[in-house]
Amino acid sequence: MPERARVHLVVSGIVQGVSFRYYTVEEARRLGLAGWVRNLPDGRVEVEAEGERPALEALVAWCRRGPPAARVDGVEAEWSAHRGDLGPFATRR
């Protein structure tokens, strides 16, 4: 069984007003991940996700590209141990 982990991401660039959160939810659910995504007041997007390490790595790779209208300038990723306290992947306000 693949290792389970948690990752916290902060995505910068043109990532608000381009459906970044919507597409992130779709991708994370497709990958079978738990967690959330939300806009930050400074124009960045924050993601917290848990699941199997390969699926999390796929989500990080997706966030580096983003949806078609986005322009991702950077992704900060902080990895930690799986805690199992996140619900189904959704948008947070």
What is the biggest distance separating any 2 CA atoms in the chain, rounded to whole angstroms? 39
Distance from C-alpha of 29 to C-alpha of 78, rounded to nearest angstrom: 20
For residue 13, the SS3 value is strand
Give yes or no for a contact between 15 and 66, defined as CB atoms under 8 angstroms apart: yes
The tokens 């917290």 sit on which residue?
A: 48
53 belongs to the catalytic site: no
Task: Write down the catalytic residue from 4, 21, 44, 71.
Answer: 21
39 belongs to the catalytic site: yes
Task: Write down the catalytic residue from 38, 39, 83, 92.
Answer: 39
Residue numbers annotated as active site: 21, 39
